Structure 1
Amino acid sequence: MLSNLCKVVLVILCLGLPGASPAAEGAADAVTWMHADFPPLRIVEGPYVGQGPSDMIHDLMRREMPDLDHHVLTANLSRTMNWMKQGEKVLAVGIIPNPERNAIMQYSMPCVLVPPVCLVVRAGSAGVGQGGRVSLRDFVSGKILGVAVDRSYGPEVDSVLRTAPDPSRIVAHTGSNLLGSLLDMLQRGRVDGVLAFPFEATYVARMKGRENAFSLVPLSEALVPVVGRVAAPRTTWGTEMIGRVNAVLERHRNTPEYRRAFEHWLPAGAVEDYRAMYGEFAQSR
């Protein structure tokens, strides 16, 4: 009998374990916001914690949808995609659509606008970035490139990565603090370059006290800004949530407060160009 009792207790404990899935967070009115660790889009530690654009969007959605029980979870993109595929009640901010994601996700109107991705190299790297843009395709044909696993950098750059003749030259890094770890690898010479969006490369290098250790080089395959969207699973619940998210974005996306959440992290010289792009973004669907 004692053995049977232990089995019953074990089952109860297993069923009650928190964090097994987003559904464990609450009832039917709960939503879990999945955020990848890509500062300054989302800042989870340090003096600027909670001040990233994704943090702003989550706070906005929580204020505008007070009937829902909102939870925030830091998770890598693989975990987010897995839960989307399972139809869990999760949303993710700043997702860049691509064919793999389109099969399991549906999207809001654009909610994030960032300047094109660039190549980060060690300062003074011979023959890289001298005289203008660099071809990423040429770079990966002879050097080692570091990228974040499962991340999209925009359709043109993603295409180069998918069709690279020697995939072993592309190191896809996993784990937390992805860009910080990639910059460490770059400084140690384990990779020759890293893909990053300019504002995040500047932020992470600054927080590491290494702003002068790296150079940002524009890519010939990255000429247009990248937009991200709120993603939801392809379920009835997901469709309803995308409708509600779009209504919030319609009301707030064109406000100075919303725009400044992104401008705050741009280099001073990039703000004017960003504002020139923002008008079209604010009208896009």
Structure 2
Amino acid sequence: MVAALMPRIFLTFILFSYLSPVANAKTINWLTHDFAPYYILNGQYQHQGRDESIISLLEKQLPTITFNRVIIPSGKVIQELSNISQNVCALSLYKNDYRKEHIYFTDESSTTGLSPSIAMHNKLADALELPNATEVSLLNLIRDKKLTLGVSMSRSYGKEIDTIINTTPDIDLVIRPTRDSLASLTYMLNLKRIDILLGYPSEHYYLAKSMHFDKNLTQRALIESPALSYGFIGCTKNEQGAKDITILNERLKVIKKTQAYNDVLMRWLPEHLRPLLQSRINGTK
């Protein structure tokens, strides 16, 4: 009797295993990299990065899917995504026509942030009479005010700002090519070896805070920058990538309505720039 039941019990076990969400659970491989404050891999603020936190919000929305984080150099992200033999995704990517030929992107943005800003010493902001809410002109500061500008090598800040940097004659420019160029430039800014530093607001704030310079340094939005900077999820352009993009696009619509998502976007902004980001986001709805 027992022997006769064994095949039936075994078949039932196989069917249960096949239909089980755990057995059918698939994996999304997320490309991450050591780039604070988007991914913070160690130190005091470990795992509090903006982008890695949004991945965690998506993970909670998709309990039957395993999220596997893969750490690679930031310069390799697009290359890995473009390899159709892979099955990988990445958060917060700029979307353009060339990339869309090789990568699937969500229609829904995964991150929204303020565009490039400048950091400066509080004393300089006071001397120039620039209140917190003031948007400033980069061209005016480097051409007319003759301020020394620090920038990271081989980094784009948008068409208008790039044009100003590359075509304005007789400006005082300090360029740093190292991997930690923004940290090096922030150190110089605090010592007043440069006057202003170009970067993204969250990066400025994170570095100033982690280097304990946040009481000395401040930021101002630039009139030459777009109101907002958007990032999208990209996945490998193959059959699996198409499925992943569809799922992630729908989940983004859900998490973007939550307070937790809004809090993540604001986490690495200085207090005086948070209302600006919120007002600009509200203005786009």
Alignment TM-score, normalising by the size of structure 2: 0.70
72, 82, 86: which is aligned to 1:85? Answer: 82
Give the counterpart letter for 1:171 in structure 2. I
Gap regions ≥5 residues in structure 1: 1-27
| CA gap 1:42/1:136 in 2 versus in 1, 3 angstroms | farther
Quote the offset at 1:136 in angstroms. 4.7
> What is the aligned partner in structure 2 of residue 94 from structure 1?
92
| CA gap 1:92/1:155 in 2 versus in 1, 3 angstroms | farther
59, 62, 80: which is aligned to 1:65? Answer: 62
The reply on whether 1:45 has 2:42 as its aligned counterpart is: yes
| CA gap 1:32/1:201 in 2 versus in 1, 3 angstroms | same
Rounded Cα–Cα distance in structure 2 between residues aligned with 1:250 and 1:182 = 37
Give the counterpart letter for 1:44 in structure 2. L
The reply on whether 1:243 has 2:246 as its aligned counterpart is: yes
Aligned length: 253
Rounded Cα–Cα distance in structure 1 between residues aligned with 2:166 and 2:233 = 24
The reply on whether 1:114 has 2:87 as its aligned counterpart is: no
Rounded Cα–Cα distance in structure 1 between residues aligned with 2:208 and 2:115 = 18
> What is the aligned partner in structure 2 of residue 5 from structure 1?
none
| CA gap 1:280/1:218 in 2 versus in 1, 3 angstroms | closer
> What is the aligned partner in structure 2 of residue 264 from structure 1?
267
Structure number with bigger Rg: 2
Give the counterpart letter for 2:151 in structure 1. G
> What is the aligned partner in structure 2 of residue 9 from structure 1?
none
Rounded Cα–Cα distance in structure 1 between residues aligned with 2:102 and 2:165 = 22
> What is the aligned partner in structure 2 of residue 224 from structure 1?
227
| CA gap 1:76/1:183 in 2 versus in 1, 3 angstroms | farther
> What is the aligned partner in structure 2 of residue 25 from structure 1?
none
Q: Where does 1:274-285 land on structure 2 (aligned, <5 Å)?
A: 274-279=277-282, 283=285
Rounded Cα–Cα distance in structure 1 between residues aligned with 2:98 and 2:153 = 16
Q: What do the CA deviations read for 1:164-218 (whole angstroms, capped 9, x no partner)? A: 789x95736353x553244235457786643222233122101101124434243
Rounded Cα–Cα distance in structure 2 between residues aligned with 1:101 and 1:31 = 20
The reply on whether 1:171 has 2:175 as its aligned counterpart is: yes
Rounded Cα–Cα distance in structure 2 between residues aligned with 1:217 and 1:41 = 21
Give the counterpart letter for 2:203 in structure 1. E
Gap regions ≥5 residues in structure 2: 1-24
Q: What do the CA deviations read for 1:114-169 (whole angstroms, capped 9, x no partner)? A: 1221122455559x96666133597389855422645x544543555676789x95
Give the counterpart letter for 2:50 in structure 1. P
